[in-house]
Amino acid sequence: MKLDIPSLSEAVATPAVASLVLVVEGDETRRACLSTALKGWGYEVVSAASEADALALCAQGWPDIVLCSGAISGLDFCRAFRELSQGRGSYLILLADSQEGVDCTLDAGADDVLLQPAGLPELRARLMAGARFLAMQRELTQKNQLITETLDILRQVHARIDKDLIEAKKFQQSLLRERYRAMEGGNLSMMLRSAGHVGGDLVGYFPVRPGVVGLFGLDVSGHGISSALMTARLAGYLSAATPDQNLALTLLPGGTYAARPPGEVIAELNDLVLHEMETEHYFTLMLAIADLTTGEVTVAQAGHPHPALLRSDGRVEQSGTGGFPVGLLSGVGFEDYKLQMAPGDRLLILSDGVTECPDPGGEMLGEEGLARMLGELRRFSGPALLSALVWKLSEFADSRDFPDDVSGILLEYHGNA
């Protein structure tokens, strides 16, 4: 996208002041003397003997500086001249014979008053001051115009970026192929809510073999486009659509797949990020392999919040190994641990956008707050539970806009029928 942004140096390179001076003087001798002096100083000069002639000359070519004799009706001329100017830059010097009425003249539109008799050196100094004033005024006008043009271009750029971000959001949402999946032995529900147009969170699942499914939740550091691009790349390493490229799966001789230990997979991702990806991002990850025939879930945690296990009797358990985020330290190990689910239990993997969501006073929800919230929502199930959780979170934060991405995946275990 090529942008023709105006240059500041070009905008102020044009000479700011043309040296056209209008002399308004009823006395022919004084008018001639003033005109001769001005021409000698390098000014272009036009002259008029009356107010009407002067205004007619202004209509033909606008002067930069006006010298008006007080003998002419100065107040009337100042008002008429300013009305005719309509914002065009000019500097009006009134040549007054006395101090009387000077304040009224300035109020009427004169920029300076020079009491007569005055010497030519003083007159020249006033003209030079007027020229400097006009130069600064016109340079400021040019710079303001430049700023206006640049802001207009930036608005156009912002509109294009906003359009691209909307498309990027559609793409990122498409990474979450299904929001709900009914399986033999359990159901899966997923949500993804970005703090901005796009974010760094992602949840998903992949089948391993009949009765066994892999679940993951990840949260890339930062927000915005670069985090979203990192998320899209990581999605390919845990893809359900291309199991041969899924790092969590290993191909067996018969053409079927088996799950690799989650901790081993995370360790490989850690090496990939540190040694093969040119990025400053790191990410937290929860990777779980759930056996829906037995209820056993093998989990590895890399800095992601502890999973929440909602027991059928209403208890909420939150425990895990913690671990380091992926992409921070080389050679870090990631430990597997087991969770045992019973029929009616529910497993929630949530991003830290939930537990670290602040209330209006800045206090975070935390694990205890999440447990209370889930206890209040125990009658909900499936996608309705995730929607109700977001609603309760917005109620807690007193805002529908969260400072961080919010994502989650819910496994409801029914047992082997």
DSSP string, 130-151: HHHHHHHHHHHHHHHHHHHHHH
Query: What are 168's two structure tokens?
Result: 């990027």
Enumerate long-range contacts of 27-34, CB under 8 Å, 24 or more apart: 27/69, 27/71, 30/69, 34/67
What is the SS3 assignment for 386?
helix
Query: What are 193's two structure tokens?
Result: 């809510």
Which of 347, 303, 328 lies closest to 190, judged by CA?
A: 347
**356 vs 27: CA distance, rounded Å:** 84
Residue 410 burial (CB count, 10 A): 26
pLDDT band at residue 61 under the 50/70/90 scheme: confident
Residue 142 burial (CB count, 10 A): 18
Which of 314, 392, 293 lies closest to 350, judged by CA?
A: 392
pLDDT in tens, 137-193: 888 888 988 898 888 888 888 777 666 666 656 665 665 667 889 999 999 999 988
- In the chain, domain spans: 8-143, 176-413
Check the CA dihedral 378-381-387-390 and report its sign: positive
Which of 407, 399, 398, 279 lies closest to 352, judged by CA?
A: 407
Name the average pLDDT for the chain: 85
Position 114 scores a pLDDT of: 82
Residue 51 burial (CB count, 10 A): 19
Q: Structure pTM?
A: 0.65
Average confidence (pLDDT) over 193-202 = 76
For the cut 50, the answer to whether the pLDDT of residue 411 exceeds it is yes
Distances in whole angstroms, Cα of residue 66 to Cα of each of 35, 60, 87: 12, 15, 15
Q: How many residues does the chain have?
A: 417
Position 153 scores a pLDDT of: 86
Q: Which residues contact 294 (CB under 8 A, 6 or more apart)?
A: 416
**201 vs 197: CA distance, rounded Å:** 12
Distances in whole angstroms, Cα of residue 381 to Cα of each of 50, 76, 330, 408: 91, 83, 40, 14
**266 vs 261: CA distance, rounded Å:** 9
Return the higher-pLDDT residue of 193 and 339: 339
**Strand 296-302 with 283-291, pairing:** antiparallel
Phi and psi at residue 321, in whole multiples of 5°?
-95, -10
260 Ramachandran zone, left/alpha/beta (phi>0; psi -120 to 50): beta
**Range with the poorest average pLDDT among 107-116, 164-173, 285-294:** 164-173
What is the CATH architecture assignment of 8-143? 3-Layer(aba) Sandwich (3.40)
**377 vs 240: CA distance, rounded Å:** 30
Average confidence (pLDDT) over 294-304 = 96
pLDDT in tens, 363-398: 999 999 999 999 999 999 999 999 999 999 999 999
pLDDT in tens, 260-273: 999 999 999 999 99
**341 vs 321: CA distance, rounded Å:** 18
Residue 128 burial (CB count, 10 A): 11
What is the dotted CATH code of the domain comprising 176-413? Answer: 3.60.40.10
pLDDT in tens, 18-60: 478 999 888 888 889 889 999 988 888 998 888 888 888 888 8
**108 vs 76: CA distance, rounded Å:** 8
